[in-house]
Amino acid sequence: MNNKIRVMLVDDHAVVRSGLSAFLSVNSDLELVGEAENGQQAVARAGLLQPDVILMDLMMPVMDGIAATQAIKRQHPAIQIVALTSFQEDELVQNALRAGAIGYLMKNVTARELAAAIRSAKAGKMTLSSEAAQALVRANQQAQEPESLTEREREVLKLMVEGLNNAEIAERLVVSLSTVKYHISNILGKLGVDNRVSAVTLAIQRRMV
pLDDT digit string (tens) for 140-191?
666 555 568 888 999 999 999 999 999 999 999 999 999 999 999 999 988 8
Q: Tell me the helices (H) and strands (E) count for the chain, helix number first.
A: 10, 6
- DSSP-derived secondary structure for 102-161: SEEEETT--HHHHHHHHHHHHTT--EE-HHHHHHHHHHHHHHHSPPPPPHHHHHHHHHHH
Q: What pLDDT score was predicted for residue 204?
A: 87
Q: What pLDDT score was predicted for residue 59?
A: 93
* CA atoms of 179 and 173, how far apart (whole Å): 10
Q: What pLDDT score was predicted for residue 13?
A: 95
**Per DSSP, which regions of the chain are E strands?**
5-10, 30-36, 53-56, 80-85, 103-106, 127-128
pLDDT-based confidence at residue 207 (cuts at 50, 70, 90): confident
Structurally, at CATH architecture level, domain 151-205 sits in: Orthogonal Bundle (1.10)
pLDDT digit string (tens) for 2-50?
689 999 999 999 999 999 999 999 999 999 999 999 999 999 999 999 9
In the chain, residues under CATH classification 1.10.10.10 are 151-205
Q: What pLDDT score was predicted for residue 171?
A: 95
* CA atoms of 98 and 190, how far apart (whole Å): 25
In the chain, residues under CATH classification 3.40.50.2300 are 5-142
∠107-5-132 over CA atoms, to 5°?
30
Query: 146 with 187: CB under 8 angstroms?
Result: no
pLDDT-based confidence at residue 103 (cuts at 50, 70, 90): very high
pLDDT digit string (tens) for 47-84?
999 999 999 999 999 999 999 999 999 999 999 999 99
* CA atoms of 1 and 10, how far apart (whole Å): 27
Q: What pLDDT score was predicted for residue 142?
A: 61
End-to-end CA distance of the chain: 68
**Assigned superfamily of 5-142:** Response regulator (3.40.50.2300)
* CA atoms of 158 and 75, how far apart (whole Å): 53
Q: What pLDDT score was predicted for residue 51?
A: 98
Q: What pLDDT score was predicted for residue 136?
A: 80
Q: What pLDDT score was predicted for residue 143?
A: 55
Instruction: Say whether 70 sits in a helix, a strand or coil.
Output: helix
